[in-house]
Amino acid sequence: MEQNVLVPQPHRILNIRRHTKTECTFRVACDTEPGFGQFFMLSLPKVGEAPISASGKGRGYVEFTIRNVGLLTQAIFDLEPGNSIFLRGPYGNQFPVKQFENKDLLIICGGTGMAPILTMANHFYDHPEVCKSVHIISGFKNADAVLFRDEIEKFQSRFHMITTLDSEVVEGFETGMVTAHIGKVPIRSFDDYNIVIVGPPVMMHFAALECVKNGAEESKIWVSFERKMCCGVGKCGHCKIHDTYVCLEGPVFNYSDAKDKLMD
Amino acid sequence: MINTGKKAEFKQLMLNRRNLYHLFSRLFQKEVDQAFYDQLRAITFPSHREENALTEFKDALLRLNEYFEYDAGESLDDLAADYAKTFLGAGSAQGAAAFPYESVYTSPKHVMMQDAWNQVCDIYESKGIERNEESADLLEDHIAVELDFMAFLCDETSRFTETLAGLEEQKEFLNRHLLNWAPGFCLDIKVHADTEFYRMVGQLTTGFLQLDSFILDQMINARKARTMCSQSFRMSRARMDEILTELQTEYRIYAPRLIEDRGSWEDGGLVRYQEIGALDDIVLDRQSDFSMKEVLYPVSQTIFRFDENSCVETVSSDPKGIILFARPCDINGLKRLDNMFLANGGMSDVYYKRMRDKVKIFLMECPQSWESCFCVSMGTNRTEYYSAAFHLHGEEILLEVKDAEFIDYFGGETPADYAPAFIEENQKKVRVPDIKDPSRLREIFNLEFWKTCSEECISCGGCNTVCPTCSCFDTVDFLNQENSRKGERRRIWSSCMLPDFSRTAGGNIARKRADQMMRFKTMHKVYDYKARFGGNEHMCVGCGRCIQRCPKEISFADTINQLSEEVDRLNAGQPEQE
């Protein structure tokens, strides 16, 4: 019988790590290792299915950082370690990590947009020799919304790390939108570089414009899209933008291709 | 009365061959017992058929008939001992025997479980065959198992509608495997066997396999020859109904049918694709409100059932094929659906493919171009893709048959000179925008025109529903009962004209307003699809159903034409008109 990719398989929840009132990371037993920036279709029978990026991976597990915003995520939040969650995937393309080697790298992320870049950031943390330098600008609404505090602290020791809160003034954090801090990164003095931007569409739009204003070339900027998906394999049609299917050709796009797509 | 035509004859031939293969398989599977001996004796083997002369089968048959006519004095015990000696190397044979395994005859060292064994194992597995208990102690390349597999293939071909593919599969296995070694093995039987019975079995088996190969070739060649050229016929409506009845033993037949108490228009009723029994069920004098896509891709379809611990794919057990009576625009629409479901993402959709593989198209000639049709503009007024084409709207039925499968049903009718006529002009004419360069898309995207063309749109999604090429779906989980642990996930037609279509759980909606959604739909139908899949075809097939369906009377044909004018202006470097 032909393999039916639309049927998900149960995977056990190993542990749950709470970040904020509405955000948790679920570690799930899984032997399939996702690439940097790839996503899985997560589902609970009776409730539904949605695409979720892998925020961590290791031997025998994958992690998903989920914000509780809808019916499915609420149902997932009701689960405990030992319960099953249903998975299929991974799907989509990856951040072109090979291209990032021996160059400077700037990662700009907003809110849960930190999740898709986390496996990549951890990779560079474990292999500090790979990139010339790593800069991260990570923005959150306020101090209560800060995710991945452990990782942020860890990254500070090896990366140029700016963590900023949109409007709140709190010790240990910068204040202002991520765009306000892009000027601090010496993009013009970089020999060769790449910039990764992940967050809400509006944030990606303005962050990219700001990078360009600060001397970045469009073709060196990478973004990751979030779209409603009901299949993940190019059939349901929800993630189509122009002649592109985000689940197939994305979620990672070069900004020079994606800038027109950000408008839709 | 049902006419039992050539199709029934073909089916019977397949079943007869299946029975013969079973019989030969049994001969090698184990010793002959009384019941089987009696069964053999009761069979009258035909020795008079002309083609028998071509093989040593005829000689073997004569010997067989004589064997049972004049008792050769061989007891069942004699036969059992000879079976053990000949095939197992027991007793006086001292290990020498005709070992009934393909790999013994085809491997360089003449040992068991070599390449040939691997190959047949793979073939059985690809067919999803589970070995039954009786033969489970025999290796897969044992002659009894291979003969049994031929019986399986004969049975399959008798049930399935793709007979040519089935016959070719049989021929492939027969030539590659059985005939590649069984003749040598049968010669060895003559050497090792002491009884007349088993010496005869050897000769008979070779003769049978050679004859069957010859018969298969004849059938395959005849079918191929028929596929090369089409044939046309005429018949009465009554005769057509008889053939439809006969077709229904093998196929479900779908055509536009009137559902009287549905639909919102004053002309009454809704015309949708449903199963039909007779010609009079088919609505011929108006366009169907829905396209035929719902037959292959239902409005709501269960994709798997679940309980809390597992998800199990739904499988289809309906062995019948599907015949679709369809208009050229919808047949062209099928190609668009194929691209999405079978090609996009380099993977085919299991649920769609399952239905699609069964579909045979019966083209219905259009009696007229209806009010909203613009197929000629879209190049979808013609098609070559059909098994048979029909002129149905007259006293006499005319048809052209291209697919050999259906010659079996229609081949006996009065020959005629007929080829389907296609609509060559519509009232509505549409010009697709001339977008020369993707760099133009941003300007097109920002046109004020999108707001004006969608002013009336209420985002109901009716246009997507009736469209033969819209294929988007949502998935929704249903419970069998409230509070039940068991349920199913279904996929349900979705619509890009609904704001929820692009809503993510976080509340972000990529396209909120009617103008954004109208732009998305329009560009997909007349630009994006072709940009993605190449070729000369746009997604829209110009059936005009969306125009008929729109409660606000928005004409998609006008939208495309107006967009073309806007694009012309952009191409000429002129500003957009207010």
Cβ atoms within 10 Å, residue B169? 16
Return phi, psi of residue B213, to 5°.
Answer: -60, -40
Indicate if A137 and A253 belong to the same structural domain.
Answer: yes
In B403-486, DSSP assigns E strands to 414-415, 473-479
Indicate if A20 and A78 belong to the same structural domain.
Answer: yes
Closest CA to B363 of B459, B195, B230, B178: B230
Please give the residue range of the domain that contains residue A183.
97-228+243-263
Q: Is residue A137 part of a domain?
A: yes
* Cβ pair A29, A116 in contact under 8 A: no
Q: Which of A30, A57, A91 is the last residue of a domain?
A: A91
Average pLDDT over all residues of chain B: 88
Bridge-based pairing state of the strands B388-391 and B396-401: antiparallel
In A, residues 59-118, which contact B (CB 8 Å cutoff)? Answer: 67, 69-70, 72-73, 84, 86
Question: B35 Cβ partners below 8 Å, 6+ apart?
Answer: none
Split into its structural domains, chain A has a count of 2
Q: Is residue A1 part of a domain?
A: no
Bridge-based pairing state of the strands A84-91 and A9-18: antiparallel
Return phi, psi of residue B145, to 5°.
Answer: -75, -40
Residue B287, Cβ density class (10 Å: 0-12 exposed, 13-18 middle, ≥19 buried): buried
Indicate if A76 and A105 belong to the same structural domain.
Answer: no
pLDDT at residue B405 tops 90:
no
Indicate if A208 and A142 belong to the same structural domain.
Answer: yes
* Cβ pair B364, B327 in contact under 8 A: yes
Return phi, psi of residue A55, to 5°.
Answer: -105, -5
With cut-offs at 50, 70 and 90, classify the pLDDT of residue B203. confident
Q: Is residue A206 part of a domain?
A: yes
Question: A85 Cβ partners below 8 Å, 6+ apart?
Answer: A10, A11, A13, A26, A28, A42, A43, A44, A76, A79
Q: Is residue A57 part of a domain?
A: yes
pLDDT tens digits for range B71-110: 777 888 999 999 999 998 877 766 688 899 999 999 888 8
Q: Is residue A122 part of a domain?
A: yes
What is the structure's pLDDT at A2? 42
Q: Give the total residue count for chain A.
A: 264
Indicate if A57 and A143 belong to the same structural domain.
Answer: no
pLDDT tens digits for range B406-415: 988 998 999 9
3-state secondary structure chain A: CCCCCCCCEEEEEEEEEECCCCEEEEEEECCCCCCCCCEEEEEECCCEEEEEEEEEEECCEEEEEEECCCHHHHHHHCCCCCCEEEEEEEECCCCCHHHHCCCEEEEEEEHHHHHHHHHHHHHHHHCCCCCCEEEEEEEECCHHHCCCHHHHHHHHCCCEEEEEECCCCCCCCEECCHHHHHHHCCHHHCCCEEEEEECCHHHHHHHHHHHHHCCCCHHHEEEECCCCCCCCCCCCCCCEECCEEHHHHCCEEEHHHHCCHHHC
What is the structure's pLDDT at B48? 54
pLDDT at residue B567 tops 90:
yes
* Maximal CA-CA distance, chain A: 60
CA A232 to chain B, closest CA, distance in angstroms equals 10
Separation of alpha carbons B450 and B403, rounded Å: 46
Indicate if A77 and A132 belong to the same structural domain.
Answer: no
pLDDT at residue B416 tops 80:
yes
Separation of alpha carbons B257 and B274, rounded Å: 6
3-state secondary structure B64-112: HHHHHHCCCCCCHHHHHHHHHHHHHCCHHHCCCCCCCEHHHHHCCCCCC
Indicate if A140 and A248 belong to the same structural domain.
Answer: yes
All structural domains of chain B = 6-228 (1.10.3480.10), 231-415 (no CATH), 438-571 (no CATH)
Q: Is residue A167 part of a domain?
A: yes
> For A234, which of B345, B489, B508 is closest by C-beta distance?
B345
Which of these ranges, A77-86, A218-227, B249-258, B314-323, has the smallest mean pLDDT?
A: B314-323
Higher pLDDT, B344 or B128: B344
Indicate if A81 and A105 belong to the same structural domain.
Answer: no
What is the structure's pLDDT at A181? 94
* Cβ pair B170, B216 in contact under 8 A: yes
Q: Which CATH number does the domain housing residue A50 bear?
A: 2.40.30.10
Task: Answer whether 0.80 is exceeded by the pTM.
Answer: no
Residue B132 carries which DSSP code?
A: P
> Where do we find the tokens 């649920």?
B351
Q: Which of A39, A69, A91 is the last residue of a domain?
A: A91
Tokens at B349, concatenated:
């959709």
What is the structure's pLDDT at B576? 63
pLDDT at residue B263 tops 60:
yes
Higher pLDDT, B519 or B41: B519
Indicate if A211 and A129 belong to the same structural domain.
Answer: yes
Q: Which CATH number does the domain housing residue A133 bear?
A: 3.40.50.80
Indicate if A49 and A129 belong to the same structural domain.
Answer: no
CA B511 to chain A, closest CA, distance in angstroms equals 7
In B, residues 244-273, which contact A (CB 8 Å cutoff)? Answer: none
Separation of alpha carbons B83 and B32, rounded Å: 9
> For B341, which of A9, A235, A240 is closest by C-beta distance?
A235
Q: How many CA atoms lie within 13 A of B73 on its CB side?
A: 1
∠ CA(B90), CA(B91), CA(B94), 5° rounding?
75
Cβ distance A228 to B503 less than 8 Å, yes or no, reads: yes
Tokens at B60, concatenated:
């073997």
With cut-offs at 50, 70 and 90, classify the pLDDT of residue B126. confident
User: In chain B, what percentage of residues exceed pLDDT 90?
Assistant: 53
pLDDT at residue B52 tops 60:
no
* Cβ pair B401, B410 in contact under 8 A: yes
Indicate if A125 and A218 belong to the same structural domain.
Answer: yes
Mean pLDDT of A11-34: 94
- Please tell me if residue A201 touches chain B, with a CB cutoff of 8 Å: yes
A263 contact residues in B (CB cutoff 8 A): 442, 445
Query: Which ipTM did the prediction report?
Result: 0.91
pLDDT at residue B269 tops 90:
no
Residue of B310, B312, B479, B486 to mutate, testing the A interface (most A Cβ within 10 Å of its Cβ)? B310
3-state secondary structure A121-166: HHHHHHCCCCCCEEEEEEEECCHHHCCCHHHHHHHHCCCEEEEEEC
Give the count of Cβ contacts less than 8 A between chain A and B.
128
Cβ distance B477 to A8 less than 8 Å, yes or no, reads: no
Separation of alpha carbons B77 and B92, rounded Å: 16
A4 contact residues in B (CB cutoff 8 A): 313, 350
Higher pLDDT, B128 or A27: A27
Separation of alpha carbons B544 and B555, rounded Å: 8
Q: Which of A70, A91, A112 is the last residue of a domain?
A: A91
- Please tell me if residue A170 touches chain B, with a CB cutoff of 8 Å: no
Residue B421, Cβ density class (10 Å: 0-12 exposed, 13-18 middle, ≥19 buried): exposed
* Whole-angstrom Cα Rg for chain A: 18
- Please tell me if residue A238 touches chain B, with a CB cutoff of 8 Å: yes
Mean pLDDT of A103-115: 94
B268 φψ region: left (φ > 0), alpha (ψ -120 to 50), beta (else): left
pLDDT tens digits for range B434-480: 887 888 888 899 899 999 989 899 999 999 999 999 999 999 999 87
User: In chain A, what percentage of residues exceed pLDDT 70?
Assistant: 97
Indicate if A45 and A157 belong to the same structural domain.
Answer: no
Question: B479 Cβ partners below 8 Å, 6+ apart?
Answer: A46, B486, B487
CA B319 to chain centre: 10
